[in-house]
Structure 1
Amino acid sequence: MPNLSSQFVICPKCNGRGRINDKLICNECGGIGLGTFIKNDFLYWGYDLTPAKIIVRQSRRIFDAIVLTLLTATGAGGFVSLLLWLGANAVAPNGQMYLGQLLTFWREQDAKILFFWAGLLCLLFAYVRLRRAQERFRPVKLLKYWQWQKLQKQVQRVPNNWRELRSLRTNFDVAQSFDKVLLTILEQACVLAVVHGHREILPAHVLDVLLEPPAKLRKNKHSRAVTEFFTRLDIYHGKIVPKLKSAMESLEKTLPETYGTPVVSLELKKALIEGYVAARSNGHQRVVGQDVIAPLLIYGQLLQRLCDEFSLTPARIEHTVAWLNAAEIAARKKLRRYRRQRQRLYKRMQRATNAVATPLLNHFCTDITDAIRAGRLGVHIERPAALEKIFTAVSEGNRQLILAGERGSGRYETIEALAERIVNDDVPAALRNKKILVLDVDKLTAEGGEMPLEKKFLVVINEALIAGDIILTIRDISEELWRAAAQAQKLFFFTTATEKFSPALAGCIIEVAQPNQDELFLILAAQAIAFEEEYTVLFNYEALATAARAAGERQEGESVLNGAIEILKTTAQQAAATAEKKISAPTVAKAISQKTGVPYTKILKAV
């Protein structure tokens, strides 16, 4: 979840606006106005949203589209011309091909061949133009864990004046990483500011366009994401749009009627830069609507008043955005699972190879890294503190770790989140390209004859050592098996445990605490996504919050997380049985009431 707390550097001469008296470009900052540092990278907003620039860009897009169409048509015509020449000169009446003519057509002096070469040049020119257009829009700079660690070791060099800052080689205009449709929405926000007579383009203008896009942008993904965001919060279109329009109309019209040009406000610049930072945190190649919605609501002063009216706190906003990101990840996994199902031949060949190379591991273990690549596992909400402890322990040379904690603290889920990080190559160098295999101890005990379990386990460990790229895992290991695993010092062995081991056998223990409130909500959101797909229902924010608070009134020794998940599942099942699609706080309270006998109104008042 992004932390919207960047420290911004503001030009004192123009007060961050980039222009003097909203007309001349500031000669101190060069029109940058404000920005923020991420180590040695200086991020700023440099996309000019004045009406004149918008018209020029639209004209350029039309011109580029016409030129690209003509070049492509000429290139296609050249290939057609070549085919016509080959049909007339390289094909005999009986259908046979003259191979010599086919291979030496390039030496012929003919108008059709000349047109083919001209068409080929046109295609190459079109390709160069497309590449240059793509270079103007660079993707978000995403860093893996090992790249981020390397960056942290660099010495930060910050210029001490704006003139040096303007010429800094690591300056980056975040607008280059925005989705093109989202940039068009920002241009429409400028038009909206002109229509209302506002001197500044505010976050409220952008939100208004996102909620009610013009006809040409009616079905864009950014507006859909914003609509889903408010739907999760039980704030529908008919509630927020009239209030937003009324709030904007109440603003003073300070834009001159003739030759008035609105400028991007400080709060919008901050929100857009924070949107880029959020896109980095969310792993997006381009900045999209769900990256900017939280910064718009948090930095926009006009929108803050609307948030207060709808009881939207920053925590609720960021939780809901994280929920949308989790839903996006779940959709990508579903697509990956569908694609992987079509690669049956590849899967059979891989299974046969593994069976020959590591027969015991293939028989007694489950490869959760492969399951994640195939999209068979759900969305994993990371526990940053626990993962950082694992990375630190591994970087210090520890290979055998015990993840200890209470039941329901998410010990095994942390290992699954680690597997997801390995698949994404977002781990320290020591864990890159590893596979996490979960050993089925019950299966190992039942099979293999009368041999003691410890000896069977040692055989499996030996095969894992030979393979070399294995991280072996056992859920809730016993002290006897841990004693056997400790003999293989070179083996990566991660396990979970609830019992206290003797100090001599403890090894490196990673304490996994119970999830905090933010982590608890996000874990419930990930579970809600799975229940929504299974039972065809839709949860809102209050439904999840009610389940979490109700589970907090548990008996001693029970897990809040497990209790809340059970409440959500029971509610989804009952809603599906009654054909109720939307699940709100009263729906959850009624499900709890049927199970406990406590009136649901009393449950709602209690939580």
Structure 2
Amino acid sequence: MSELARPVAIVCAQCGADPRLTASCKACGGAGIGVASPDGFLVWSDPVDDFTIALRAIKKNATVIFHLAIMIGLGVAVAAILWSLTRLDDVSVIREASFWVSGRWDVSLAWFAAFLGCFLIFRLSEYSSDVRSIPGWAMTEAQLEAHDAAAPTRADHRFEIAPHFSEEARDTVERAYGIAHDLKRTEVRPDMLFAAALTGPSGGLFMARLGLSFDLVKRPLATLMISDASAGNPPIAFSKETKRSLALAYAEARTARRKHVSPIELFLQSFKDSPKLQTLLDRLGFPAEHVMKVAEWVRLQEQLREDYLRFVELAALKPKSVMNRAMTAQQTPLLDRFSEDLTIAARNGYLQPLIGREREMEELLRAIESGNRSVALVGESGTGKGAMIEELARRMVEEDVPPELFDRRLVSVNVAQVVSAGESGLAAERLITMLREVGMSGNVILAVHGIESLVGGGSGPMDLAEAFASELDRGYFIAIATTTPAAWTQYIERRSLGTKLVKVNVTPLE
């Protein structure tokens, strides 16, 4: 993930983000306050009042009714067509092209139903929701870095964040307005945003995970909201602190590669921005640090679901069967016998995503981009070396990898089977033959778990490690190996194989 500067909130010099002056301020256009971001200057200027809330509800209901009407019309048309077909003297005429251009009423209705079905699919895909994805969500790491590198050109561009809030997040903002309205406050404060997020589905999951009863926090939270904002009649405005929380919630969601801003981002940011909220929960026996960790856990669960759905969409574009780069039917019997295609396993959803290890994955990808290309993951057993290789397979399916790995397959080789499959004197020959098959396919990257097992294999003056290093030096394939620190030092580092591999240390997670 590209490194982003810490977001900084900037207040309008003309109105000072005063809710009473912001609406008529020409300098900021009603925003009052914003946050610098690679996407531009983040602002919330979308109006939230009784009229816009009612209008949004009407639009949502009208869209549902319109889509339902199309479905009903489509169902009636299909039923009428089927009824008409059952009354034909010879049903086989529907196989003839002349029947479909005959101008009969049922044929015309069939064409209209086909058009209606296509229109319904288009409407459902384009107009079911007004929510837009956050820029960067569907980008690869390289694309995101290029996008962020052009950030200075967008520094003066106002970026409206409201369209990137999920339906649930938008409902949370409107509930916060409703709380201010019910309490007869003139401003929507961060603690009201917190309370609104707490009453949603994500808030319910958070409270269950934290062990917090809503009845326990309801009264002190209401007291805080009443004391934290001035009383008065509408119009109700968003306070400077609330607009800052909304903008920073977007920045946090973007940094976390979320698809939309969700209620949990609003919950987290409003909690961070309100020392009074932190004190309130601390007095109830829930320290701020513990609250933050539980909220991060909830966000992680949501993000994993988003990433899974995105992965499924991208994986559907990948072939289900094995195909080499030359698009030939060249047989690779030894490779197929001793290996497992991890990209096929990833495409079919059998590999789990990796949590953490961003630094090690970055080192791995940079090493592959370099001239050395092949890599050794060095770490103790259980530190996640295998999980990193599986994560690489998932990223290859998504094509969130350097260009060197596009349209390639990651294949895991069972070294023990290669050594013990036949006569030990022919082990080196089997290995070299298998590697030549890798070269013929042209798009295979080898994953070799426990590469120290190659040392001492075979017979004669050249063991399997030397044979592997010799073939690796020819440069016709890329290998990603795993080993332990002790095995690296004892068997690999001082041998020719050690000079062919870029070492990436995989230390235990804290």
TM-score normalised by the shorter chain: which range applies? 0.7 to 0.9
Q: For 1:484 and 1:426, how far apart are their aligned partners in 2?
A: 32
> Does 2:221 match 1:244?
yes
Q: Which moved more, 1:42-51 or 1:380-389?
A: 42-51
Match of 2:186 in 1: 199
1:47-196 paired onto structure 2 within 5 Å: 47-70=46-69, 73=72, 86=84, 91-92=88-89, 102-106=99-103, 133=127, 136-141=130-135, 142=137, 143-154=139-150, 156-157=152-153, 165=156, 168=157, 171-196=158-183
Q: For 2:122 and 2:385, how far apart are their aligned partners in 1?
A: 52
TM-score, normalised relative to structure 2: 0.78
Superposed displacement of residue 124, structure 1: 7.8
Superposed displacement of residue 281, structure 1: 4.4
Contact 1:421 1:427 in 2 (8 A): yes
- Aligned mate of 1:465, from 433, 439, 445: 439
State the number of aligned residues: 479
Q: Quick one: which amino acid aligns to residue 329 of structure 1?
A: L
Contact 2:378 2:503 in 1 (8 A): yes
What secondary structure sits across from 2:31 in the alignment?
coil
Superposed displacement of residue 12, structure 1: 2.0
Q: Quick one: which amino acid aligns to residue 139 of structure 1?
A: S
Q: For 1:70 and 1:295, how far apart are their aligned partners in 2?
A: 41
Superposed displacement of residue 28, structure 1: 0.7
- Aligned mate of 2:481, from 485, 492, 495: 495
- Aligned mate of 2:232, from 244, 256, 263: 256
Q: For 2:97 and 2:376, how far apart are their aligned partners in 1?
A: 72
Q: Which moved more, 1:383-392 or 1:127-136?
A: 127-136
Contact 1:77 1:119 in 2 (8 A): no
Q: For 2:100 and 2:147, how far apart are their aligned partners in 1?
A: 54
Match of 1:485 in 2: 468
Unaligned runs of 5+ in 1: 160-164, 213-222, 518-607
Q: Quick one: which amino acid aligns to residue 362 of structure 2?
A: E
Q: Which moved more, 1:138-147 or 1:362-371?
A: 362-371
Match of 2:208 in 1: 231
> Does 2:28 match 1:41?
no
Superposed displacement of residue 383, structure 1: 0.9
Q: For 1:371 and 1:125, how far apart are their aligned partners in 2?
A: 36
Q: For 1:365 and 1:436, how far apart are their aligned partners in 2?
A: 10
Q: For 1:334 and 1:63, how far apart are their aligned partners in 2?
A: 28
Superposed displacement of residue 427, structure 1: 1.4
Q: Quick one: which amino acid aligns to residue 25 of structure 1?
A: S
TM-score, normalised relative to structure 1: 0.67
Q: For 2:134 and 2:212, how far apart are their aligned partners in 1?
A: 31
Contact 1:330 1:379 in 2 (8 A): no
Relative distance call for 1:471 and 1:189 in structure 2 (3 A) is: same
Match of 1:321 in 2: 296
What secondary structure sits across from 2:228 in the alignment?
coil
Relative distance call for 1:328 and 1:247 in structure 2 (3 A) is: same
Match of 2:339 in 1: 365
Relative distance call for 1:113 and 1:31 in structure 2 (3 A) is: farther
Contact 1:4 1:295 in 2 (8 A): no
> Does 2:509 match 1:512?
no
Q: Quick one: which amino acid aligns to residue 391 of structure 1?
A: L
- Aligned mate of 1:418, from 389, 392, 396: 392
Relative distance call for 1:133 and 1:264 in structure 2 (3 A) is: farther
Q: For 1:354 and 1:246, how far apart are their aligned partners in 2?
A: 73
Match of 2:359 in 1: 385
Superposed displacement of residue 385, structure 1: 1.2
Q: Residue by residue, what CA displacement relative to the aligned partner does 1:71-99 show, whole Å, maximum 9, x if unpaired?
A: 55556556666667x569x834x877587
Relative distance call for 1:358 and 1:58 in structure 2 (3 A) is: same
1:568-607 paired onto structure 2 within 5 Å: none
> Does 2:408 match 1:434?
yes
**How many percent of aligned residue pairs carry the same amino acid?**
20
Q: For 1:201 and 1:289, how far apart are their aligned partners in 2?
A: 16
Superposed displacement of residue 191, structure 1: 0.9
Q: Quick one: which amino acid aligns to residue 15 of structure 1?
A: G
Q: For 1:234 and 1:316, how far apart are their aligned partners in 2?
A: 10
Contact 2:195 2:221 in 1 (8 A): yes
Unaligned runs of 5+ in 2: 456-462
Relative distance call for 1:238 and 1:360 in structure 2 (3 A) is: farther
Q: Residue by residue, what CA displacement relative to the aligned partner does 1:447-501 show, whole Å, maximum 9, x if unpaired?
A: 1323354333222222222222222122232255443332223221111232221
Q: Quick one: which amino acid aligns to residue 492 of structure 1?
A: I
- Aligned CA-pair RMSD: 4.2
Contact 1:294 1:317 in 2 (8 A): yes
Q: For 2:257 and 2:420, how far apart are their aligned partners in 1?
A: 44
Q: For 1:95 and 1:364, how far apart are their aligned partners in 2?
A: 55
What secondary structure sits across from 2:411 in the alignment?
strand
Contact 1:49 1:187 in 2 (8 A): yes
Q: Quick one: which amino acid aligns to residue 496 of structure 1?
A: T
> Does 2:445 match 1:476?
no
Q: Quick one: which amino acid aligns to residue 204 of structure 2?
A: T
